[in-house]
Amino acid sequence: MDPLRQDEFDSQACGSIAPKAKPCPRPKPGEAAGGCSFDGAQITLLPIMDAAHLVHGPIACAGNSWESRGALSSGPSLSQYGFATDLTDSDIIFGGEKKLKDSIDYIAGRFAPPAIFVYSTCVTALIGEDMDAVCKEAADRIGIPVIPVNSPGFVGSKNLGNRLAGDALLQYVIGTGEPEPETDLGVNLIGEYNIAGEMWDIEKLMNSAGIAVTSRITGDARYKEITWAHRARVNMVVCSRALLGLAKEMEARYGIPYFEGSFYGAKETTYSLRQMAYLMNDREMERRVDRLTEREEARLSQELRPYRKLLRGKRAVLYTGGVKSWSVISALKELGVQVVGVGTNKSTEDDVRRIADRVGDDTEYIPEGGASRMIKTVRERKADIMIAGGRNMYVAMKEQIPFIDINQERHKAYAGYEGLLRLAKELTYSLTNPIWKLAASPAPWDKEAPPYDR
Amino acid sequence: MTVNRRKKPASVNPMKIGQSLGAVLALQGCYRAMPLIHGSQGCSAFPKALLTRHFREPIALQTSALQEMDVIFDANRNLEEALNLVLSKHRPDIIGIIGTELTDVAGVDYQNMLKTYKRERNMRGGLAFSVVLPDFRGSLESGFSSTVEAMIDEMIQQVGHRGTRSMNTRQITLLPGSFLTPADVMELKEIISSFGFEVIALPDISTSLSGHLLTGFSPLTRGGVPLDSMLQSLQSGLTIAVGGSMERPARRLHNAIGTPYKVFEGAMGLKATDELLHFLHQISGEPVPLRYCWQRENLLDSMLDAHFQFAGMSVLAALEPDHLYSVSGWLEELGVEQKALITSFETPLIAGMEREVWVGDLDDAEVLGKGADLWISNSHGIAGAQRTGTAFMPAGFPVWNELGAYMSVSVGYRGAMEWSNKAGNLLMQREAGHRESSVRHR
Ligand code: SF4
């Protein structure tokens, strides 16, 4: 195992609650990848489906980013509208506050959302717009919450943006409402964004064990349910550590116990469900969870049998940019897939430790380096498949490496027992596709071309 | 006729795309190039993701990764660091530095910095240029054409003054507009070369974003027009620009080194293609190749077959200016009502159109186009089309709900036929759907 590098330790600050202590490592000009904090804030808040999300800045921040995520909605779709103040030259010179105010009024009047989130961007932060004041004034005037999200792109990474969005929820949303009297209180799911509908699979599972979801923070959420998140009995931080601070703060303020867990892989899923029941301190619920997980695991192992045979011993390189690394490793291990390389570039120290717990000694750590480094690892470690974000998908295709998309934009849900089965199927389809043989064989008149080396 | 705007403070469901993305697209059409966005990380991550999603190809792009303090104190230190790294690690032939609204508002002077940098490092042999593209002006289209213009400027500075120009009358420089797909650029190159001309497309996304399988990863662009061809294009006897926005780079070539140019504003439909072929026939003295005569008849025949489908139909189109102009010309030939034409920003070409055009967003499209049968826009329009019960035809940028969109042809007789059939099929399916539901409900 490679020794961990100093900057991996440094990046610890990105996941903990005290951000000022050690800043995240500075992105390297000419070699940087990944989104900005504004992006991160949107990832966290856009899944509040009935709210309006207004981007305060020139058009590109909103224009280039809306409708790019796979967070699904079971009902309202206002959050899929792209709202922007679309500042022009003269707005920049004379200030955009008037336009912001008018935009808020316009959206409130025409769409009547339960709340409006307003995002600052680099330019509006740079010219010193007083967004907080405008939002406050507007909220008082129109009578709905108008929430400033101060996370302009240039303050840092996506991760930081997630956290700043969490801060906005703490400051402006959580604790401002009360659940309806008949509501069955249970668990807040924090950091689960319903990518490809994963939230729905998770919720189904929880419900069949008799565990209620109190607030979704934020996958397929409604604004109102987040206002009463402080009434939940347990917080679960799902995979992403960026919102750990939110859970910690809620423990301090409201005394809600929290735990970190994941739904990738049967073991992790079972553990998470058990943990919920345990923290709720409910014997009957624990028994129900036991029965459910036993039944589900048995059914799953039955259904996985044909896929396991094919997947056993296959080698994968995992490059998810951090937060998901360790949880996906467990899922892969259960399928018999060996992780021979794993990207740790945005992982926190805790993440890295958890990765280390889950992989064998001969797994290579890829602390940085993007696509070329990844491909090198695939080649050197003789991997069969690459599992990474959509941005790298076509790089892998060019190199004719089987690929599974694991990020924000994907369309397949891999959470829970059902999800693990789906992952097994996807891996199998990908590995056995005839295209790999076809693409590797030269045209008949090109027989002298060197054979493809893999 | 008139360009209108609906009065509303916010943009709702924007169709405008940042100018810098247009610049990145232009540079993808140059071989071994690296676009470098001078701004914060997100300003490169978003375009990269969006272009990847549309073309389903890796996209070459880097950033100076500005953070708050860099912007305030010394943004160019980041740029220098980025340049050093990119140059030493990847040795690109072409570097385009793309200024963003952030560097613009902060008043960063990277133009001069680049000049000094080049002088100090004695940089020769490659092209390195900068272009100012804040997002609060223009859109994808203007970013693209400004970048081509800046590229041409740099080329002229490098070789333009060296002695007298030897002109090659059999060589044509093609300046394809930003709305053309890789397949369109390929088609145009083929059409022009079928009259016996050598064609150098500038930029040439047909060889970089059309999907080829080169092995050996590089973070630079993997296809496109190579630098030596680019420089050689200065010897062309003629420039052909496709799209009104490409007139300015064509004029730049004309003013600096005297290359005559011809602009084809519309690129779609029978008349536009007739014009192009007739022009090529006249300047080359060659007959129009038989295959285009065939294709012309194929097109007319298919339009005859389809005209029943289009009778009484109305269409709304929301596209970038040049594209909208082109598509409107084609719609004219189909005899459908153009219910609403919406574009991202005003250009001279749009201002001069004989139809009413609205500058706005996809929300305006939804309101103004209410009752239309067919909706033509980028994939962001799907939701609006669904809400209004309009058949949806993806076009422009970005398109992600369809495989191979980037390889669909819209220019030439072949393109007009492909589009007419596609639009006709959508209307036919919609009609069938209606019929079914009316039967069911009775
Ligand atoms: S880095 Fe700043 S300007 Fe760029 S997309 Fe992010 S918020 Fe917008």
Q: How many CB atoms lie within 10 A of CB B90?
A: 17
User: Of the candidates A30, A67, A157, which has its C-beta nearest B81's C-beta?
Assistant: A30
Q: Two tokens at A381? A: 């470690």
Ligand 1 pocket, residue A155 CB under 6 Å? no
Query: What are the tens digits of pLDDT across the range B246-295?
Result: 999 999 999 999 999 999 998 899 999 999 999 999 999 999 999 999 99
Beta bridge partners of B236: B168
> What is the share, in percent, of chain A residues with pLDDT greater than 90?
66
Among A51-60, A168-177, B99-108, B225-234, name the one with the lowest average pLDDT.
B99-108
> Pick from A346, A337, A333, A454: which is nearest to A407 by CA?
A346
Name the packing angle between helices B269-284 and B290-310 (round to 10°).
170
> Pick from A302, A122, A53, A80: which is nearest to B106 by CA?
A122
Task: Sheet containing B391-394: give its strands across.
Answer: B3-5, B357-359, B337-343, B314-318, B374-377, B391-394
User: Of the candidates B10, B44, B85, which has its C-beta nearest A103's C-beta?
Assistant: B10
> Is any Cβ of chain B less than 8 angstroms from the Cβ of A451?
no
Q: Is the dihedral of CA B324, B134, B14, B12 positive or negative?
A: negative
Interface mutation target, options A49, A56, A59, chain B, most CBs of B under 10 Å: A59
Residue A19 has pLDDT above 80, yes or no: no
Phi, psi of B364 (to 5 degrees): -60, -40
Query: What are the tens digits of pLDDT across the range B26-52?
Result: 999 999 999 999 999 999 999 999 999
Residue A322 has pLDDT above 70, yes or no: no
CA torsion, ordered A123, A127, A128, A134, to nearest 10 deg: -70
Ligand 1 pocket, residue A169 CB under 6 Å? no
> Is pLDDT larger for residue B119 or for residue A251?
A251
Give the whole-angstrom CA distance, residue B267 versus residue B184. Answer: 10
Residue A140 has pLDDT above 90, yes or no: yes
User: How large is the average pLDDT for residues B387-410?
Assistant: 94
Helix (H) or strand (E) holding A423: helix A416-432
List the alpha helices (DSSP H) in B156-266: 182-193, 227-232, 247-257
The mean predicted confidence, pLDDT, of chain A is: 88
Chain A residues touching B84 at Cβ < 8 A: 30
Band the pLDDT of A410: cuts 50, 70, 90: confident
Beta bridge partners of A307: none
Q: Is the dihedral of CA A165, A167, A172, A177 positive or negative?
A: positive
Q: How many CB atoms lie within 10 A of CB B244?
A: 23
Distances (CA, A) of A12 to A28, A192, A250, B59: 18, 21, 21, 31
User: Of the candidates A27, A36, A60, which has its C-beta nearest B135's C-beta?
Assistant: A60
DSSP B148-186: HHHHHHHHIIIIITSSPPPPEEEEEEEEE-TT--HHHHH
Q: How many residues does chain A have?
A: 454
The Cα of B36 is separated from the nearest Cα of chain A by a number of Å equal to 8
Judge whether A17 and A248 are in contact, CB under 8 Å: yes
Judge whether B180 and B411 are in contact, CB under 8 Å: yes
Give the whole-angstrom CA distance, residue A339 versus residue B135. Answer: 42
Instruction: Write down the pLDDT at residue B29.
Output: 97
Cβ within 8 Å, pair A59-B58: no
Query: What are the tens digits of pLDDT across the range A178-212?
Result: 998 888 899 999 999 999 999 999 999 999 999 99
Which A-chain residues 33-62 have CB contacts (< 8 A) with chain B? 33-39, 54, 58-62
User: How large is the average pLDDT for residues B151-160?
Assistant: 88
Chain A residues touching B346 at Cβ < 8 A: none
The mean predicted confidence, pLDDT, of chain B is: 93
Spacing, Cα A121 to ligand 1 middle (Å): 6
User: Of the candidates B47, B50, B58, which has its C-beta nearest A394's C-beta?
Assistant: B58
Query: What are the tens digits of pLDDT across the range A374-407?
Result: 888 899 999 999 998 877 888 888 889 999 988 7
Cβ within 8 Å, pair A68-B53: yes
> Is pLDDT larger for residue B430 or for residue A288?
A288
> Is any Cβ of chain B less than 8 angstroms from the Cβ of A446?
no
Cis peptide before B58 (omega within 30 of 0): no
> Is any Cβ of chain A less than 8 angstroms from the Cβ of B214?
yes
> What is the share, in percent, of chain B residues with pLDDT greater than 70?
97
Query: What are the tens digits of pLDDT across the range B215-249?
Result: 677 889 989 999 999 999 999 999 999 999 999 99
> Is any Cβ of chain A less than 8 angstroms from the Cβ of B58?
yes
Beta bridge partners of B358: B4, B342
Give the whole-angstrom CA distance, residue A434 versus residue A28. Answer: 40
User: How large is the average pLDDT for residues B360-368?
Assistant: 96
Judge whether B17 and B139 are in contact, CB under 8 Å: yes
Query: What are the tens digits of pLDDT across the range B84-142?
Result: 999 999 999 999 999 998 998 888 999 999 999 998 887 777 899 999 998 888 999 99
User: Longest C-alpha distance within chain B, in Å?
Assistant: 81
> Is any Cβ of chain A less than 8 angstroms from the Cβ of B199?
no
Judge whether A157 and A132 are in contact, CB under 8 Å: no
Judge whether B61 and B257 are in contact, CB under 8 Å: no
Q: Is the dihedral of CA A39, A394, A31, A316 positive or negative?
A: positive
Q: Which residue's structure tokens are 């709210």?
A: A51
User: How large is the average pLDDT for residues A107-112?
Assistant: 97
Residue A11 has pLDDT above 90, yes or no: no
Query: What are the tens digits of pLDDT across the range B57-68?
Result: 999 999 999 998
Ligand 1 pocket, residue A153 CB under 6 Å? yes
CA torsion, ordered A139, A140, A142, A143, to nearest 10 deg: 90
Give the whole-angstrom CA distance, residue A435 versus residue A452. Answer: 13
Q: How many CB atoms lie within 10 A of CB B66?
A: 32
Instruction: Write down the pLDDT at residue B4.
Output: 92
The Cα of A385 is separated from the nearest Cα of chain B by a number of Å equal to 17
Cis peptide before A218 (omega within 30 of 0): yes
ipTM: 0.92
Instruction: Write down the pLDDT at residue A186.
Output: 95
Distances (CA, A) of A341 to A221, A356, A400, B270: 35, 12, 18, 55
> Is any Cβ of chain B less than 8 angstroms from the Cβ of A437?
no
Phi, psi of A321 (to 5 degrees): 75, 20
